[in-house]
Chains A and B, each alone.
Chain A
Protein backbone atom coordinates (compact mmCIF):
# COMPACT_ATOMS: atom_id res chain seq x y z
CA UNK A 1 0.00 0.00 0.00
CA UNK A 2 0.93 3.68 -0.07
CA UNK A 3 3.48 5.27 2.14
CA UNK A 4 2.67 8.83 1.21
CA UNK A 5 -0.10 10.71 2.94
CA UNK A 6 -2.10 13.19 0.90
CA UNK A 7 -4.09 16.07 2.23
CA UNK A 8 -7.83 16.02 1.66
CA UNK A 9 -9.70 16.15 -0.65
CA UNK A 10 -8.66 12.75 -1.88
CA UNK A 11 -10.54 13.09 -5.14
CA UNK A 12 -10.59 15.70 -7.86
CA UNK A 13 -13.30 16.62 -10.29
CA UNK A 14 -12.97 14.74 -13.56
CA UNK A 15 -14.85 17.34 -15.61
CA UNK A 16 -12.90 18.69 -18.55
CA UNK A 17 -13.49 22.32 -17.56
CA UNK A 18 -11.69 21.56 -14.31
CA UNK A 19 -8.30 21.30 -15.96
CA UNK A 20 -6.30 24.32 -17.04
CA UNK A 21 -4.97 22.82 -20.27
CA UNK A 22 -8.44 21.77 -21.36
CA UNK A 23 -9.96 25.14 -20.48
CA UNK A 24 -7.55 26.78 -22.89
CA UNK A 25 -8.41 24.24 -25.59
CA UNK A 26 -12.11 24.94 -25.08
CA UNK A 27 -11.45 28.66 -25.50
CA UNK A 28 -9.66 27.94 -28.76
CA UNK A 29 -12.51 25.70 -29.87
CA UNK A 30 -15.05 28.37 -29.05
CA UNK A 31 -13.15 30.79 -31.29
CA UNK A 32 -13.41 28.45 -34.25
CA UNK A 33 -16.83 29.58 -35.56
CA UNK A 34 -15.69 33.17 -35.63
CA UNK A 35 -12.42 32.27 -37.35
CA UNK A 36 -14.27 30.12 -39.85
CA UNK A 37 -16.64 32.95 -40.66
CA UNK A 38 -13.77 35.40 -41.09
CA UNK A 39 -11.98 33.00 -43.38
CA UNK A 40 -15.13 32.42 -45.39
CA UNK A 41 -15.64 36.11 -45.97
CA UNK A 42 -12.15 37.51 -46.10
CA UNK A 43 -9.86 34.71 -47.13
CA UNK A 44 -6.72 33.13 -45.76
CA UNK A 45 -5.12 36.20 -44.22
CA UNK A 46 -6.54 35.79 -40.73
CA UNK A 47 -5.84 32.08 -40.61
CA UNK A 48 -2.26 32.68 -41.67
CA UNK A 49 -1.95 35.39 -39.04
CA UNK A 50 -3.16 33.09 -36.30
CA UNK A 51 -0.92 30.26 -37.41
CA UNK A 52 2.23 32.36 -37.54
CA UNK A 53 1.52 34.08 -34.22
CA UNK A 54 0.75 30.78 -32.51
CA UNK A 55 4.03 29.27 -33.68
CA UNK A 56 5.96 32.30 -32.49
CA UNK A 57 4.05 32.25 -29.21
CA UNK A 58 4.88 28.65 -28.42
CA UNK A 59 8.53 29.12 -29.37
CA UNK A 60 8.89 32.22 -27.23
CA UNK A 61 7.06 30.61 -24.35
CA UNK A 62 9.43 27.64 -24.49
CA UNK A 63 12.46 29.92 -24.52
CA UNK A 64 11.17 31.95 -21.60
CA UNK A 65 10.33 28.83 -19.58
CA UNK A 66 13.80 27.51 -20.24
CA UNK A 67 15.31 30.81 -19.09
CA UNK A 68 13.17 30.76 -15.96
CA UNK A 69 14.34 27.22 -15.20
CA UNK A 70 10.87 25.81 -15.30
CA UNK A 71 9.97 22.43 -16.77
CA UNK A 72 9.17 23.38 -20.35
CA UNK A 73 6.94 20.48 -21.32
CA UNK A 74 4.61 20.56 -18.35
CA UNK A 75 4.17 24.29 -18.57
CA UNK A 76 3.61 24.31 -22.31
CA UNK A 77 0.86 21.78 -21.73
CA UNK A 78 -1.31 24.46 -20.16
CA UNK A 79 -1.82 25.84 -23.69
CA UNK A 80 -2.00 29.41 -22.47
CA UNK A 81 0.54 30.60 -25.04
CA UNK A 82 -1.71 29.22 -27.78
CA UNK A 83 -4.64 31.29 -26.53
CA UNK A 84 -2.53 34.44 -26.31
CA UNK A 85 -1.32 33.82 -29.85
CA UNK A 86 -4.82 33.15 -31.08
CA UNK A 87 -6.28 36.34 -29.64
CA UNK A 88 -3.40 38.46 -30.92
CA UNK A 89 -3.62 36.78 -34.33
CA UNK A 90 -7.29 37.63 -34.59
CA UNK A 91 -6.71 41.21 -33.47
CA UNK A 92 -3.89 42.07 -35.87
CA UNK A 93 -5.14 42.96 -39.38
CA UNK A 94 -4.78 40.15 -41.89
CA UNK A 95 -2.04 40.62 -44.39
CA UNK A 96 0.42 42.00 -41.87
CA UNK A 97 4.07 41.11 -42.36
CA UNK A 98 5.66 38.51 -40.13
CA UNK A 99 7.93 40.94 -38.28
CA UNK A 100 4.90 42.85 -37.09
CA UNK A 101 3.38 39.68 -35.74
CA UNK A 102 6.67 38.75 -34.10
CA UNK A 103 7.09 42.12 -32.41
CA UNK A 104 3.60 41.94 -31.00
CA UNK A 105 3.79 38.41 -29.68
CA UNK A 106 7.29 38.99 -28.37
CA UNK A 107 6.10 41.88 -26.23
CA UNK A 108 3.06 39.90 -25.18
CA UNK A 109 4.85 36.73 -24.11
CA UNK A 110 8.17 38.09 -22.90
CA UNK A 111 7.31 41.38 -21.25
CA UNK A 112 3.65 41.21 -20.43
CA UNK A 113 3.67 37.60 -19.28
CA UNK A 114 7.03 36.17 -18.31
CA UNK A 115 8.57 39.21 -16.70
CA UNK A 116 5.71 38.96 -14.24
CA UNK A 117 6.45 35.33 -13.52
CA UNK A 118 4.52 33.48 -16.18
CA UNK A 119 0.96 32.23 -16.34
CA UNK A 120 -1.32 33.46 -13.61
CA UNK A 121 0.89 36.30 -12.41
CA UNK A 122 0.48 38.88 -15.18
CA UNK A 123 -1.81 41.75 -14.26
CA UNK A 124 -2.31 42.79 -17.90
CA UNK A 125 -3.74 40.81 -20.75
CA UNK A 126 -0.64 39.82 -22.75
CA UNK A 127 -2.33 39.77 -26.14
CA UNK A 128 -3.76 43.23 -25.65
CA UNK A 129 -0.41 44.57 -24.43
CA UNK A 130 1.16 43.29 -27.62
CA UNK A 131 -1.63 44.73 -29.73
CA UNK A 132 -1.46 48.15 -28.08
CA UNK A 133 2.30 48.29 -28.49
CA UNK A 134 1.87 47.62 -32.21
CA UNK A 135 -0.97 50.10 -32.49
CA UNK A 136 1.14 52.86 -30.95
CA UNK A 137 4.34 51.96 -32.78
CA UNK A 138 3.05 51.03 -36.24
CA UNK A 139 -0.27 52.86 -36.59
CA UNK A 140 -0.30 52.63 -40.37
CA UNK A 141 0.22 48.87 -40.50
CA UNK A 142 -2.28 48.31 -37.76
CA UNK A 143 -5.08 50.17 -39.49
CA UNK A 144 -4.42 48.74 -42.92
CA UNK A 145 -6.49 45.71 -43.68
CA UNK A 146 -5.50 43.91 -46.85
CA UNK A 147 -8.46 41.94 -47.96
CA UNK A 148 -8.79 40.06 -51.21
CA UNK A 149 -12.13 41.73 -51.74
CA UNK A 150 -10.55 45.16 -51.54
CA UNK A 151 -11.28 47.68 -54.19
CA UNK A 152 -7.63 47.25 -54.97
CA UNK A 153 -8.41 43.89 -56.46
CA UNK A 154 -11.62 44.99 -58.09
CA UNK A 155 -10.20 44.45 -61.56
CA UNK A 156 -9.15 40.87 -60.85
CA UNK A 157 -12.12 39.21 -59.14
CA UNK A 158 -11.27 36.03 -57.29
CA UNK A 159 -12.78 34.12 -54.41
CA UNK A 160 -11.33 34.75 -50.93
CA UNK A 161 -10.70 31.06 -50.49
CA UNK A 162 -8.96 30.49 -53.78
CA UNK A 163 -5.34 29.54 -54.36
CA UNK A 164 -4.52 33.02 -55.63
CA UNK A 165 -5.85 34.54 -52.46
CA UNK A 166 -3.64 32.24 -50.40
CA UNK A 167 -0.66 33.27 -52.47
CA UNK A 168 -1.38 36.94 -51.92
CA UNK A 169 -1.78 36.39 -48.20
CA UNK A 170 1.51 34.51 -48.01
CA UNK A 171 3.27 37.23 -49.93
CA UNK A 172 1.89 39.87 -47.63
CA UNK A 173 2.99 37.97 -44.58
CA UNK A 174 6.44 37.04 -45.84
CA UNK A 175 7.47 39.82 -48.23
CA UNK A 176 10.61 37.88 -49.21
CA UNK A 177 8.43 35.32 -50.95
CA UNK A 178 7.19 37.86 -53.45
CA UNK A 179 10.48 38.02 -55.24
CA UNK A 180 10.47 41.63 -56.26
CA UNK A 181 9.24 44.11 -53.71
CA UNK A 182 7.55 46.47 -56.14
CA UNK A 183 4.32 44.55 -56.29
CA UNK A 184 3.99 44.43 -52.55
CA UNK A 185 4.68 48.06 -51.98
CA UNK A 186 1.88 48.72 -54.39
CA UNK A 187 -0.48 46.85 -52.14
CA UNK A 188 0.74 48.57 -49.05
CA UNK A 189 0.07 51.98 -50.46
CA UNK A 190 -3.57 51.23 -50.79
CA UNK A 191 -5.62 50.35 -47.79
CA UNK A 192 -9.13 49.59 -46.78
CA UNK A 193 -10.80 50.25 -43.50
CA UNK A 194 -11.81 47.10 -41.82
CA UNK A 195 -14.86 47.32 -39.69
CA UNK A 196 -18.13 48.89 -40.63
CA UNK A 197 -17.97 50.97 -37.47
CA UNK A 198 -14.77 52.58 -38.67
CA UNK A 199 -16.26 53.14 -42.06
CA UNK A 200 -19.16 54.76 -40.34
CA UNK A 201 -16.81 56.92 -38.35
CA UNK A 202 -15.06 58.16 -41.46
CA UNK A 203 -17.79 58.08 -44.05
CA UNK A 204 -20.99 58.25 -42.09
CA UNK A 205 -22.50 55.08 -43.42
CA UNK A 206 -21.76 51.46 -42.74
CA UNK A 207 -21.80 48.40 -44.88
CA UNK A 208 -23.74 46.49 -42.24
CA UNK A 209 -26.49 49.07 -42.19
CA UNK A 210 -26.45 49.29 -45.95
CA UNK A 211 -26.66 45.53 -46.16
CA UNK A 212 -29.57 45.54 -43.75
CA UNK A 213 -31.42 48.08 -45.84
CA UNK A 214 -30.71 46.27 -49.06
CA UNK A 215 -31.71 42.85 -47.69
CA UNK A 216 -28.49 41.42 -49.05
CA UNK A 217 -27.95 37.67 -48.88
CA UNK A 218 -26.30 36.76 -45.62
CA UNK A 219 -23.63 34.28 -46.56
CA UNK A 220 -22.65 35.49 -49.98
CA UNK A 221 -19.07 36.60 -49.91
CA UNK A 222 -19.58 39.86 -51.69
CA UNK A 223 -22.60 40.83 -49.64
CA UNK A 224 -20.63 42.86 -47.11
CA UNK A 225 -22.60 41.37 -44.24
CA UNK A 226 -19.40 39.63 -43.21
CA UNK A 227 -18.82 41.54 -40.00
CA UNK A 228 -22.29 40.88 -38.79
CA UNK A 229 -21.92 37.15 -39.32
CA UNK A 230 -18.46 37.11 -37.76
CA UNK A 231 -19.73 38.83 -34.65
CA UNK A 232 -22.62 36.43 -34.40
CA UNK A 233 -20.18 33.53 -34.68
CA UNK A 234 -18.07 34.89 -31.85
CA UNK A 235 -21.23 35.43 -29.83
CA UNK A 236 -22.08 31.78 -30.45
CA UNK A 237 -18.64 30.68 -29.25
CA UNK A 238 -18.97 32.92 -26.22
CA UNK A 239 -22.34 31.47 -25.34
CA UNK A 240 -20.79 28.03 -25.60
CA UNK A 241 -18.12 29.05 -23.09
CA UNK A 242 -20.84 30.39 -20.81
CA UNK A 243 -22.71 27.13 -21.16
CA UNK A 244 -19.60 25.16 -20.24
CA UNK A 245 -19.20 27.55 -17.29
CA UNK A 246 -15.65 28.31 -18.34
CA UNK A 247 -16.31 32.02 -18.15
CA UNK A 248 -18.60 33.78 -15.73
CA UNK A 249 -21.63 35.69 -17.00
CA UNK A 250 -20.74 38.92 -15.22
CA UNK A 251 -18.10 40.38 -17.52
CA UNK A 252 -19.69 39.80 -20.97
CA UNK A 253 -23.15 40.72 -19.79
CA UNK A 254 -22.07 43.92 -18.11
CA UNK A 255 -19.96 44.97 -21.10
CA UNK A 256 -22.76 44.35 -23.57
CA UNK A 257 -25.38 45.98 -21.39
CA UNK A 258 -23.17 49.02 -20.82
CA UNK A 259 -22.46 49.46 -24.51
CA UNK A 260 -26.15 49.04 -25.28
CA UNK A 261 -27.17 51.65 -22.75
CA UNK A 262 -24.47 54.07 -23.84
CA UNK A 263 -25.34 53.75 -27.49
CA UNK A 264 -29.03 54.18 -26.75
CA UNK A 265 -28.35 57.27 -24.68
CA UNK A 266 -26.16 58.99 -27.21
CA UNK A 267 -27.83 57.89 -30.41
CA UNK A 268 -28.70 60.74 -32.71
CA UNK A 269 -30.57 59.99 -35.88
CA UNK A 270 -28.69 61.26 -38.89
CA UNK A 271 -25.87 62.75 -36.86
CA UNK A 272 -22.59 63.12 -38.64
CA UNK A 273 -20.64 62.03 -35.57
CA UNK A 274 -20.13 58.36 -34.98
CA UNK A 275 -22.97 57.88 -32.52
CA UNK A 276 -23.94 54.75 -34.40
CA UNK A 277 -26.92 52.58 -33.60
CA UNK A 278 -26.80 49.98 -30.86
CA UNK A 279 -26.81 47.26 -33.49
CA UNK A 280 -23.82 48.78 -35.20
CA UNK A 281 -21.92 49.05 -31.94
CA UNK A 282 -22.61 45.48 -30.93
CA UNK A 283 -22.24 43.76 -34.27
CA UNK A 284 -20.31 46.18 -36.43
CA UNK A 285 -16.97 45.83 -34.72
CA UNK A 286 -14.97 43.62 -32.41
CA UNK A 287 -17.39 43.93 -29.47
CA UNK A 288 -18.34 40.28 -29.24
CA UNK A 289 -14.84 38.84 -29.25
CA UNK A 290 -13.82 41.55 -26.82
CA UNK A 291 -16.63 40.87 -24.41
CA UNK A 292 -16.48 37.09 -24.49
CA UNK A 293 -12.86 36.23 -25.22
CA UNK A 294 -10.56 39.11 -24.36
CA UNK A 295 -12.06 40.84 -21.34
CA UNK A 296 -12.84 37.50 -19.69
CA UNK A 297 -9.21 36.39 -19.53
CA UNK A 298 -9.38 35.25 -15.89
CA UNK A 299 -5.77 36.04 -15.03
CA UNK A 300 -5.97 39.74 -15.67
CA UNK A 301 -9.68 40.35 -15.07
CA UNK A 302 -11.27 41.12 -11.73
CA UNK A 303 -11.86 37.95 -9.78
CA UNK A 304 -14.64 38.81 -7.33
CA UNK A 305 -18.22 38.57 -8.64
CA UNK A 306 -19.03 42.18 -7.82
CA UNK A 307 -15.67 43.33 -9.10
CA UNK A 308 -16.34 41.62 -12.41
CA UNK A 309 -19.56 43.53 -12.93
CA UNK A 310 -17.88 46.88 -12.29
CA UNK A 311 -14.92 45.79 -14.40
CA UNK A 312 -17.30 45.09 -17.28
CA UNK A 313 -18.99 48.45 -16.86
CA UNK A 314 -15.62 50.24 -16.90
CA UNK A 315 -14.62 48.42 -20.06
CA UNK A 316 -17.97 49.07 -21.70
CA UNK A 317 -17.76 52.79 -21.03
CA UNK A 318 -14.16 52.92 -22.21
CA UNK A 319 -14.96 51.02 -25.40
CA UNK A 320 -17.83 53.32 -26.28
CA UNK A 321 -16.01 56.47 -25.25
CA UNK A 322 -12.91 55.79 -27.26
CA UNK A 323 -14.89 54.66 -30.27
CA UNK A 324 -17.07 57.70 -30.32
CA UNK A 325 -14.83 60.47 -29.05
CA UNK A 326 -11.31 59.09 -29.14
CA UNK A 327 -8.77 59.27 -31.90
CA UNK A 328 -8.03 55.55 -32.00
CA UNK A 329 -10.19 53.38 -34.16
CA UNK A 330 -10.20 50.13 -32.29
CA UNK A 331 -10.84 50.55 -28.63
CA UNK A 332 -11.02 47.02 -27.24
CA UNK A 333 -7.33 46.76 -26.36
CA UNK A 334 -7.17 50.14 -24.62
CA UNK A 335 -10.40 49.53 -22.76
CA UNK A 336 -9.37 46.06 -21.61
CA UNK A 337 -5.99 47.26 -20.39
CA UNK A 338 -7.70 50.08 -18.54
CA UNK A 339 -9.98 47.50 -16.97
CA UNK A 340 -6.99 45.35 -16.05
CA UNK A 341 -5.39 48.36 -14.41
CA UNK A 342 -8.47 48.91 -12.27
CA UNK A 343 -9.09 45.22 -11.55
CA UNK A 344 -6.99 44.84 -8.36
CA UNK A 345 -8.64 47.91 -6.89
CA UNK A 346 -12.11 46.62 -7.76
CA UNK A 347 -11.25 43.26 -6.24
CA UNK A 348 -10.14 44.98 -3.11
CA UNK A 349 -13.37 46.89 -2.64
CA UNK A 350 -15.77 44.22 -3.90
CA UNK A 351 -14.86 41.34 -1.65
CA UNK A 352 -17.94 39.33 -0.77
CA UNK A 353 -19.21 39.06 2.77
CA UNK A 354 -17.84 35.95 4.45
CA UNK A 355 -20.21 33.51 6.16
CA UNK A 356 -20.70 34.43 9.79
CA UNK A 357 -19.43 37.99 9.47
CA UNK A 358 -21.82 40.89 9.57
CA UNK A 359 -19.70 43.15 7.38
CA UNK A 360 -17.55 42.85 4.34
CA UNK A 361 -13.85 42.35 5.01
CA UNK A 362 -11.85 45.52 4.86
CA UNK A 363 -8.40 46.63 5.77
Chain B
Protein backbone atom coordinates (compact mmCIF):
# COMPACT_ATOMS: atom_id res chain seq x y z
CA UNK B 1 0.00 0.00 0.00
CA UNK B 2 2.78 2.41 0.93
CA UNK B 3 4.50 1.64 -2.31
CA UNK B 4 1.32 2.20 -4.25
CA UNK B 5 0.83 5.56 -2.53
CA UNK B 6 4.40 6.59 -3.10
CA UNK B 7 4.10 5.82 -6.81
CA UNK B 8 0.91 7.89 -6.94
CA UNK B 9 2.55 10.84 -5.19
CA UNK B 10 5.65 10.55 -7.30
CA UNK B 11 3.62 10.59 -10.50
CA UNK B 12 1.34 13.38 -9.34
CA UNK B 13 3.82 15.81 -7.85
CA UNK B 14 7.42 14.87 -8.45
CA UNK B 15 7.09 13.77 -12.05
CA UNK B 16 4.14 15.95 -12.83
CA UNK B 17 3.04 15.41 -16.42
CA UNK B 18 2.68 19.02 -17.40
CA UNK B 19 5.17 20.89 -15.29
CA UNK B 20 8.04 18.44 -15.12
CA UNK B 21 7.66 16.22 -18.17
CA UNK B 22 5.99 18.84 -20.39
CA UNK B 23 3.38 16.44 -21.72
CA UNK B 24 -0.14 17.55 -22.57
CA UNK B 25 0.80 21.20 -22.62
CA UNK B 26 -1.73 22.00 -25.36
CA UNK B 27 -4.61 20.72 -23.31
CA UNK B 28 -3.17 22.34 -20.21
CA UNK B 29 -3.03 25.73 -21.85
CA UNK B 30 -6.19 25.80 -23.92
CA UNK B 31 -8.44 24.11 -21.37
CA UNK B 32 -7.42 26.42 -18.54
CA UNK B 33 -9.01 29.51 -20.05
CA UNK B 34 -12.06 29.04 -17.86
CA UNK B 35 -12.46 27.21 -14.59
CA UNK B 36 -15.61 25.34 -15.58
CA UNK B 37 -13.96 24.20 -18.78
CA UNK B 38 -10.86 23.07 -16.97
CA UNK B 39 -12.89 20.99 -14.51
CA UNK B 40 -14.55 19.15 -17.38
CA UNK B 41 -11.31 18.54 -19.25
CA UNK B 42 -9.51 17.47 -16.09
CA UNK B 43 -12.12 14.86 -15.24
CA UNK B 44 -12.33 13.59 -18.80
CA UNK B 45 -8.58 13.39 -19.21
CA UNK B 46 -8.22 11.58 -15.93
CA UNK B 47 -10.78 9.00 -16.95
CA UNK B 48 -9.34 8.52 -20.43
CA UNK B 49 -5.79 8.45 -19.15
CA UNK B 50 -6.34 5.67 -16.67
CA UNK B 51 -8.42 3.53 -19.02
CA UNK B 52 -6.17 4.06 -22.01
CA UNK B 53 -2.96 3.25 -20.19
CA UNK B 54 -4.49 0.05 -18.88
CA UNK B 55 -5.75 -1.01 -22.30
CA UNK B 56 -2.47 -0.02 -23.91
CA UNK B 57 -0.56 -2.15 -21.44
CA UNK B 58 -2.71 -5.14 -22.26
CA UNK B 59 -2.41 -4.40 -25.96
CA UNK B 60 1.35 -4.19 -25.77
CA UNK B 61 1.88 -7.21 -23.59
CA UNK B 62 -0.56 -9.58 -25.25
CA UNK B 63 -0.80 -8.44 -28.87
CA UNK B 64 1.92 -6.16 -30.09
CA UNK B 65 4.89 -7.57 -28.29
CA UNK B 66 4.18 -11.29 -29.02
CA UNK B 67 3.47 -10.50 -32.66
CA UNK B 68 6.59 -8.36 -33.09
CA UNK B 69 4.42 -5.39 -33.96
CA UNK B 70 6.06 -2.93 -31.59
CA UNK B 71 6.67 -0.52 -34.49
CA UNK B 72 2.88 -0.04 -34.58
CA UNK B 73 2.80 0.95 -30.93
CA UNK B 74 2.31 4.69 -31.42
CA UNK B 75 -0.50 4.37 -33.95
CA UNK B 76 -2.27 1.82 -31.82
CA UNK B 77 -2.03 4.02 -28.76
CA UNK B 78 -3.48 6.97 -30.64
CA UNK B 79 -6.31 4.83 -31.91
CA UNK B 80 -7.06 3.44 -28.47
CA UNK B 81 -7.05 6.79 -26.72
CA UNK B 82 -9.12 8.36 -29.49
CA UNK B 83 -11.75 5.67 -29.43
CA UNK B 84 -12.00 5.70 -25.64
CA UNK B 85 -12.51 9.45 -25.73
CA UNK B 86 -15.22 9.17 -28.34
CA UNK B 87 -16.98 6.47 -26.36
CA UNK B 88 -16.84 8.41 -23.10
CA UNK B 89 -18.00 11.59 -24.73
CA UNK B 90 -20.83 9.76 -26.42
CA UNK B 91 -21.95 8.32 -23.12
CA UNK B 92 -21.61 11.69 -21.40
CA UNK B 93 -23.62 13.43 -24.05
CA UNK B 94 -26.54 11.16 -23.44
CA UNK B 95 -26.23 11.63 -19.71
CA UNK B 96 -25.74 15.39 -19.57
CA UNK B 97 -26.98 16.90 -22.79
CA UNK B 98 -26.61 20.50 -21.69
CA UNK B 99 -23.53 20.72 -19.57
CA UNK B 100 -21.07 19.57 -22.22
CA UNK B 101 -21.69 21.87 -25.10
CA UNK B 102 -18.21 22.15 -26.45
CA UNK B 103 -17.74 18.47 -26.92
CA UNK B 104 -15.72 18.55 -30.05
CA UNK B 105 -13.11 20.80 -28.53
CA UNK B 106 -13.00 18.35 -25.66
CA UNK B 107 -12.54 15.50 -28.09
CA UNK B 108 -9.51 17.13 -29.60
CA UNK B 109 -8.03 18.16 -26.28
CA UNK B 110 -8.52 14.81 -24.60
CA UNK B 111 -8.27 12.37 -27.47
CA UNK B 112 -5.23 13.97 -28.97
CA UNK B 113 -3.67 14.67 -25.63
CA UNK B 114 0.00 13.76 -25.59
CA UNK B 115 -0.30 13.15 -21.85
CA UNK B 116 -2.55 10.16 -22.47
CA UNK B 117 -0.27 8.59 -25.06
CA UNK B 118 2.87 9.68 -23.27
CA UNK B 119 1.98 8.02 -20.01
CA UNK B 120 1.18 4.78 -21.86
CA UNK B 121 4.52 4.84 -23.63
CA UNK B 122 6.39 5.61 -20.43
CA UNK B 123 4.60 2.83 -18.61
CA UNK B 124 5.32 0.21 -21.26
CA UNK B 125 8.87 1.36 -21.80
CA UNK B 126 9.64 1.14 -18.09
CA UNK B 127 8.13 -2.32 -18.05
CA UNK B 128 5.80 -1.60 -15.17
CA UNK B 129 3.54 -4.30 -13.84
CA UNK B 130 -0.23 -4.03 -13.74
CA UNK B 131 -0.54 -2.53 -10.26
CA UNK B 132 2.35 -0.15 -10.78
CA UNK B 133 0.86 0.84 -14.09
CA UNK B 134 -2.48 1.66 -12.50
CA UNK B 135 -0.81 3.59 -9.69
CA UNK B 136 1.34 5.54 -12.07
CA UNK B 137 -1.52 6.49 -14.34
CA UNK B 138 -3.79 7.42 -11.44
CA UNK B 139 -1.05 9.61 -10.03
CA UNK B 140 -0.37 11.21 -13.39
CA UNK B 141 -4.08 11.87 -13.89
CA UNK B 142 -4.35 13.41 -10.44
CA UNK B 143 -1.34 15.61 -11.03
CA UNK B 144 -2.65 16.71 -14.40
CA UNK B 145 -6.07 17.51 -13.01
CA UNK B 146 -4.71 19.42 -10.02
CA UNK B 147 -2.36 21.52 -12.07
CA UNK B 148 -4.94 22.20 -14.77
CA UNK B 149 -7.66 23.34 -12.37
CA UNK B 150 -5.37 25.41 -10.20
CA UNK B 151 -3.86 27.04 -13.26
CA UNK B 152 -7.32 27.88 -14.58
CA UNK B 153 -8.14 29.62 -11.30
CA UNK B 154 -4.82 31.44 -11.49
CA UNK B 155 -5.58 32.60 -15.01
CA UNK B 156 -8.93 33.91 -13.85
CA UNK B 157 -7.06 35.99 -11.33
CA UNK B 158 -4.56 37.16 -13.92
CA UNK B 159 -7.45 38.37 -16.07
CA UNK B 160 -8.08 41.12 -13.55
CA UNK B 161 -4.41 42.10 -13.22
CA UNK B 162 -2.87 45.18 -14.80
CA UNK B 163 -0.33 43.23 -16.82
CA UNK B 164 1.72 45.53 -19.09
CA UNK B 165 0.46 45.43 -22.65
CA UNK B 166 3.35 43.44 -24.21
CA UNK B 167 2.98 40.69 -21.62
CA UNK B 168 -0.79 40.30 -21.74
CA UNK B 169 -2.26 36.91 -22.53
CA UNK B 170 -0.06 33.93 -23.36
CA UNK B 171 3.17 35.68 -22.37
CA UNK B 172 2.27 36.16 -18.73
CA UNK B 173 0.51 32.80 -18.59
CA UNK B 174 3.65 31.03 -19.74
CA UNK B 175 5.79 33.01 -17.30
CA UNK B 176 3.46 31.90 -14.53
CA UNK B 177 3.61 28.31 -15.72
CA UNK B 178 7.39 28.61 -15.65
CA UNK B 179 7.40 29.80 -12.06
CA UNK B 180 5.08 26.97 -11.09
CA UNK B 181 7.34 24.49 -12.88
CA UNK B 182 10.25 25.87 -10.85
CA UNK B 183 8.23 25.23 -7.74
CA UNK B 184 7.48 21.65 -8.81
CA UNK B 185 11.17 21.09 -9.46
CA UNK B 186 11.57 21.75 -5.77
CA UNK B 187 9.60 18.63 -5.01
CA UNK B 188 12.33 16.51 -6.55
CA UNK B 189 13.47 13.61 -4.45
CA UNK B 190 10.30 13.61 -2.43
CA UNK B 191 9.69 9.94 -3.14
Interface residues in chain A, defined as those with a beta carbon under 8 Å from any beta carbon in chain B: 68, 111-112, 114-118, 121, 123-124, 129, 132-133, 135-136, 321-322, 325-328, 331, 333-334, 337-338, 341-342, 344-345, 347-348, 363
Contact = CB atoms under 8 A, between A and B. Distances in A.
22 contacts: A111-B175, A114-B164, A115-B164, A115-B167, A116-B172, A117-B164, A132-B182, A132-B183, A132-B186, A136-B182, A322-B187, A326-B189, A337-B180, A337-B183, A338-B183, A338-B184, A344-B150, A344-B153, A345-B149, A345-B153, A348-B156, A363-B35
Q: Which 9 A-B pairs have the closest CB atoms?
A: A327-B189, A334-B186, A117-B162, A344-B153, A121-B161, A345-B153, A337-B183, A344-B157, A345-B150
B131 interface: no
B26 interface: no
A100 B115 CA distance: 37
B147 to A, nearest CB: 8
B87 interface: no
B70 interface: no
Interface of B: 35-36, 149-151, 153-154, 156-158, 161-164, 167, 172, 175-176, 179-180, 182-191
Nearest to B149: A345
Nearest to A344: B153
A235 B28 CA distance: 40
Q: Which of A132, A327, A344 has the most CB of B within 10 A?
A: A344
Contacts of A136: 182, 185-186
Nearest to B164: A68
A121 B154 CA distance: 11
A334 B187 contact: yes
B190 A322 contact: yes
B154 A117 contact: no
Contacts of B151: 341
Contacts of B176: 123-124
A251 B88 CA distance: 41
Given A327-B189, A342-B150, A363-B36, A121 B183 contact: no
Nearest to B162: A117
B182 A117 contact: no
Contact of A341 (B167, B183, B188): B183
Contacts of A133: 182
A331 B162 CA distance: 31
A294 to B, nearest CB: 14
Nearest to B156: A344
Given A116-B172, A136-B185, A348 B35 contact: yes
B187 to A, nearest CB: 6
Contacts of A135: 186
Contacts of A121: 161-163
A280 B185 CA distance: 26
